[in-house]
Amino acid sequence: MKFHIFGTCAGTEPIPGRKHVSLALEHEGRLYWFDAGEGCSRSAHLMGLDLLAVRAIFITHPHMDHVGGLGNLLWNIRKMVWVKKADPYDGAVDLITPSLRSWEGLRILLGETEGNFRCSFQLNVTRTETGTVWDKYGVKVEAIPNTHLPPDADGHPVSYSYRVKCGGKTAVLSGDVGSYDDLAPFLEEGCDALFAETGHHDSSTVAEFLKERGWNIGTLCYIHNGRDILRGRDAAMEKLLAIRDRVIICEDDTTIEI
């Protein structure tokens, strides 16, 4: 599994060298995007990735540090259609988001740009639901709600975590969680990698918690990083390695393979 990391920061003030959270799985030439923090599409393009390879975008929840770059991502995909004189792969981009209300606001904003944001490709927008939300081209994505945010006025969850399976491997992406027990339905079965947020949880506490649960987690990848990592990455890593091996503190504009 190859993941491109565009942003690793929690919802902080601007911090040098870190943007808000966003990453993408690359599989068989297509990109599967998870969250869309500020500048994510710019980072991807400058890393040499083809924005026309974006096939699906999965949003964990509608907070600005997770969706602040979504409008620009869609705008830049459309821009690259014009630059390259070609449509995105399969002629479509799917957006799976837990908040259609948030999408409606963004759609209105995009409609103010040139041409009312008319696209030559299909933009399919659906609301995240519990269970399998994607199963195409050898990539399966499942969603479970978590307790980071309460449900909306209609009782529908607006904060989700995702599990991705492809190429015989499994990765879990926490999104923001109220407790790591929220992920039990995924982690009890084990995974090759867990992308764990520390914006709301101390990184050492997370590692200890997961160790106590005895879940079979291959590589623990820290993303959406909070103050303990931002204040001292090396000190945080030293504490983490004393708890377990196979730890990665993700950095912006990098690629990792699981």
Q: What is the pLDDT of residue 32?
A: 98
Domain 2-257 grouped into CATH 3.60.15.10: yes
Average pLDDT over the chain reads: 96
pTM: 0.97
62 falls in which pLDDT band (50, 70, 90)? very high
With a cut of 90, say whether residue 247 has pLDDT above it: yes
**Residue pLDDT, tens place only, 41-51:** 999 999 999 99
Q: What is the pLDDT of residue 114?
A: 87
What would you measure as the largest C-alpha separation in the chain, in angstroms? 56
CA dist., res. 133 & res. 210, Å (int) = 26
Q: Where do the structural domains in the chain lie, given as residue ranges?
A: 2-257
**Residue pLDDT, tens place only, 150-181:** 999 999 999 999 999 999 999 999 999 999 99
